[in-house]
Amino acid sequence: MKSVDMDIRTRTEQELQPFIEMAETLGYSAILSGCTTDAITTRESPVQVYRRHNLKSKKLSELKAQVSKIHGKYALVSAPLLEVDTANWVAEDSRVHLLTVDITGKNILRKTTAGLCASHGTALEVPIASLLDANGLNRSRIIKAIRDCVTTATRANMKVVLSSGANTPVRMRSPVALFHIGMLLGLEENQAKEAILSTPSAILKENLKRLDGTQLRSGLEIIRNGEENESE
Site residues (CB under 8 A) for other proteins? 22, 25-26, 131-133, 135-136, 139, 168-174, 176-178, 180-181, 183-184
CB of 5 or CB of 76, closer to other proteins? 5
Q: What is the DSSP-derived secondary structure letter of residue 97?
A: -
The nearer residue to other proteins, 136 or 226, going by C-beta atoms, is 136
By beta-carbon proximity to other proteins, the closer residue of 84 and 176 is: 176
- Minimum Å gap between C-beta 167 and other proteins is 11
Sign, Cα dihedral of 159, 168, 172, 146 = negative
- Is residue 164 within 8 A of residue 128, CB to CB? The reply is yes
Name the minimum Å distance from CB 83 to other proteins. Answer: 30
Q: Which is nearer to other proteins, 53 or 169 (CB)?
A: 169
Helix residue spans in the chain (DSSP H): 16-26, 60-70, 84-92, 111-120, 129-133, 137-155, 175-184, 189-193, 199-212, 227-231
Spatial distance between the Cα atoms of 17 and 127, rounded to a whole number of angstroms? 21
Shortest distance (Å) from residue 142 CB to other proteins: 11
Report the nearest approach of other proteins to the CB of residue 179 (Å).
Answer: 9
- Nearest by Cα to 116 from 153, 160, 75, 65: 153
Nearer to other proteins, 89 or 179 (CB): 179
Q: What is the C-alpha separation between 181 and 173, in angstroms, rounded?
A: 10
Cβ proximity to other proteins: between 94 and 138 the closer is 138
Q: What are the backbone dihedrals phi and psi of residue 76, each rounded to the nearest 5 degrees, phi first?
A: -155, 140
Q: State the minimum distance, in angstroms, from the CB of residue 129 to other proteins.
A: 9
Write the single-letter amino acid at 121. Answer: G
CB of residue 126 to other proteins, shortest distance in Å: 14
Pairwise CA distance, residues 178 & 144, whole Å: 17
